[in-house]
């Protein structure tokens, strides 16, 4: 059986992680430009100032994408590159860059999948309160309109936001990602509500302003739980864990997914957060609950659970010496079966894996090549599990490998390499890794691996 014939194979990146040119051609500052100047925030003092220099190497990079056989490329727009102050005056050179990228992709028969926001929030809007400001959903809508009016004559696939659990939870509560805040839960929930409203308003703008019919999605983290066995109690434990809110943070699925796909906040979250909830306007959930076309999700790893004696899920301790990536994330291929399965059962939208991959200890060998058999093995195991989900009835729409090339890995700097393409961050030279050559064969066979 395998994947359906129109299944889409691609790779993904994010603007701040690859573009560089942080201070060129009228670009404004982002919160990542800000935290990279903070001593100790990013490992080794690394910054995204030049990164992969994708801004100046679009033609070269798209040529490599074509060589990899990519059918689609997921990239994000740098908000302050387009609107240096976040709203108001548009930077034409910023839009010109994305024009060139889209044109280059289409010239090479690669479908652009545009993510409106992948964490590089404008610093000027941060100074006005950022996601805490009640005007922030309108700011996001204005930004969306600028991008859509410029690109939608050629772009038909859109995602509003990437991993809100990270940029709100880790950026505003834990303080480990930009903007590096450690706010109380009341403020964190206010920021999360504004982010969800921004998603809804963005969808409304895309529907209204797009110059041709569009496919719209959303790409939260897919926090995944794997049943210890195939027994009904263990499967139910994993399903329950996937959509339960038990701790006072926003690191969950349902808080970010239920409003978008079901039009309501989850009851357990409302009860747990009762004392910290922001004011929710009478039409807010209508705004958030916009018709969208696919469920994008980023899945790398999962936790194993079983049904406890008290009738509630309990986490199973990992085996001693468990398989892990260079990032110390557990290797759990079944997360690409159970995650899509549970999400599809609950939300009934076609599933795109918008990110999946691993950080590996890659280097250039004496033969001048980059051999990464661990990545080939990892991706084989995960893709087979997603295929299994498709064969079991999940509407699997596409798969985007993270990442197209090695890049700036946020607070880890250049310490983690996720790419199908190796990047020398001094010379900026690119080398297709063995996994990139292998991935082309995966695409050619529609995942027959």
- DSSP character for 44? G
Angle formed at CA 12 by CA 245 and CA 60, multiple of 5 degrees: 165
In a domain, 208, yes or no: yes
Dihedral over Cα of 44, 19, 409, 173: its sign? positive
Q: Give 39-88 pLDDT, tens digit per residue.
A: 999 999 999 999 999 999 999 999 999 999 999 999 999 999 999 999 99
List the one residue out of 157, 316, 320, 311 whose CA is nearest residue 233: 311
Token pair for 351: 């599933």
Distance, in Å, from the CA atom of 371 to the CA atom of 172, rounded to the nearest integer, reads 38
In the chain, what percentage of residues exceed pLDDT 90?
100
Domain with 380, as residue range(s), is 8-444
Distance, in Å, from the CA atom of 88 to the CA atom of 146, rounded to the nearest integer, reads 10
Strands lying side by side in the sheet with 351-355: 215-219, 157-162, 111-117, 72-76, 8-12, 396-402, 351-355, 295-298
Is the overall model pTM greater than 0.85, yes or no?
Answer: yes
In a domain, 343, yes or no: yes
Q: Give 334-389 pLDDT, tens digit per residue.
A: 999 999 999 999 999 999 999 999 999 999 999 999 999 999 999 999 999 999 99
Q: Are 124 and 30 in contact (CB under 8 A)?
A: no
Q: Are 120 and 67 in contact (CB under 8 A)?
A: no
In a domain, 347, yes or no: yes
In a domain, 2, yes or no: no
Q: Grade residue 1 by pLDDT with cuts at 50, 70 and 90.
A: confident
The residues, ordered by sequence, that sit 6+ positions from 27 with a Cβ below 8 Å of its Cβ are 21, 78, 80, 81, 84, 91, 94
Q: What is the pLDDT of residue 387?
A: 98
User: From the annotation, which residues make up the binding site?
Assistant: 17, 118, 162, 300, 402, 409-410
List the one residue out of 218, 72, 222 whose CA is nearest residue 144: 218
Q: Which residues are catalytic?
A: 163, 355
Domain count across the chain: 1
Distance, in Å, from the CA atom of 51 to the CA atom of 448, rounded to the nearest integer, reads 34
Q: Give 277-306 pLDDT, tens digit per residue.
A: 999 999 999 999 999 999 999 999 999 999
In a domain, 3, yes or no: no
Q: What is the CATH number of the domain that holds 64?
A: 3.20.20.80
In a domain, 241, yes or no: yes
In a domain, 273, yes or no: yes
Q: Is the pLDDT of residue 432 over 90?
A: yes
Q: Is the pLDDT of residue 265 over 90?
A: yes
Distance, in Å, from the CA atom of 327 to the CA atom of 229, rounded to the nearest integer, reads 27
User: From the annotation, which residues make up the binding site for substrate?
Assistant: 17, 118, 162, 300, 402, 409-410
CA atoms within 13 A of residue 249's CA, in its CB half-sphere: 16
Q: 335-347 vs 232-242: helix axis angle to the nearest 10?
A: 70
Q: Are 104 and 58 in contact (CB under 8 A)?
A: yes
List the one residue out of 254, 240, 159 whose CA is nearest residue 203: 159
Q: What is the pLDDT of residue 425?
A: 98
Q: Grade residue 162 by pLDDT with cuts at 50, 70 and 90.
A: very high
Token pair for 426: 């001094």
Angle formed at CA 56 by CA 52 and CA 61, multiple of 5 degrees: 65
In a domain, 276, yes or no: yes
Q: Are 27 and 78 in contact (CB under 8 A)?
A: yes
User: Can you tell me the mean pLDDT for 420-424?
Assistant: 98
Q: Residues 73-100, buried b or exposed e (16+ Cβ, 10 A)?
A: bbbbbbbbbbbbbbbeebbeebbebbee
């Amino acid at each position: 059986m395998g994947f359906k014939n129109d299944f889409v194979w691609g790779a993904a990146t994010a603007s701040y992680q690859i573009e560089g040119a942080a201070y060129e051609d009228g670009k404004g500052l982002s919160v990542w430009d800000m935290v990279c100047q903070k001593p100790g925030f990013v490992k080794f003092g690394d910054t995204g100032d030049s990164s992969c220099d994708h801004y100046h190497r679009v033609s070269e990079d798209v040529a490599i994408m074509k060589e990899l056989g990519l059918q689609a490329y997921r990239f994000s727009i740098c908000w302050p590159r387009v609107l240096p102050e976040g709203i108001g005056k548009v930077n034409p050179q910023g839009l010109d860059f994305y024009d060139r990228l889209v044109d280059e992709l289409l010239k090479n028969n690669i479908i652009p999948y545009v993510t409106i926001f992948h964490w590089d929030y404008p610093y000027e809007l941060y100074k006005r309160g950022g996601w805490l400001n009640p005007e922030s959903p309108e700011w996001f809508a204005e930004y969306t309109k600028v991008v859509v009016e410029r690109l939608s004559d050629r772009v038909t696939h859109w995602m509003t936001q990437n991993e809100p659990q990270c940029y709100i939870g880790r950026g505003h509560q834990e303080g480990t990602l930009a903007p590096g805040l450690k706010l109380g839960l009341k403020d964190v929930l206010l920021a999360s509500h504004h982010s969800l409203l921004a998603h809804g308003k963005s969808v409304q703008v895309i529907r209204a302003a797009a110059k041709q019919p569009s496919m719209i999605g959303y790409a939260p983290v897919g926090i995944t739980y794997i049943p210890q066995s195939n027994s009904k109690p263990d499967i139910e434990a994993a399903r329950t864990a996937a959509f339960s809110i038990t701790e006072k943070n926003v690191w969950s699925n349902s808080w970010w997914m239920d409003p978008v796909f079901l039009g309501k906040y989850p009851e357990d979250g409302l009860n747990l957060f009762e004392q910290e909830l922001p004011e929710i306007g009478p039409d807010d959930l209508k705004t958030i609950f916009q018709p969208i076309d696919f469920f994008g999700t980023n899945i790398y790893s999962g936790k194993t659970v079983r049904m406890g004696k008290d009738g509630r899920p309990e986490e199973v301790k990992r085996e001693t010496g468990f398989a892990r990536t260079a990032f110390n994330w557990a290797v759990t291929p079944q997360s690409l079966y159970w995650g899509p399965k549970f999400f599809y059962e609950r939300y009934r939208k076609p599933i795109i894996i918008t990110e999946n991959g691993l950080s590996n200890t890659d280097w250039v060998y004496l033969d001048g090549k980059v051999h990464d058999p661990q990545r080939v093995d990892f991706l084989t195991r995960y893709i087979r599990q997603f295929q299994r989900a498709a064969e079991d009835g999940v509407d699997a729409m596409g798969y985007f490998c993270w990442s197209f090339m090695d890049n700036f890995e946020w607070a880890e700097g250049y310490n983690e390499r996720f790419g199908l393409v190796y990047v020398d961050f001094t010379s900026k030279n690119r080398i297709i890794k063995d996994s990139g050559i292998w991935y082309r064969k995966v695409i050619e066979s529609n995942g027959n691996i």
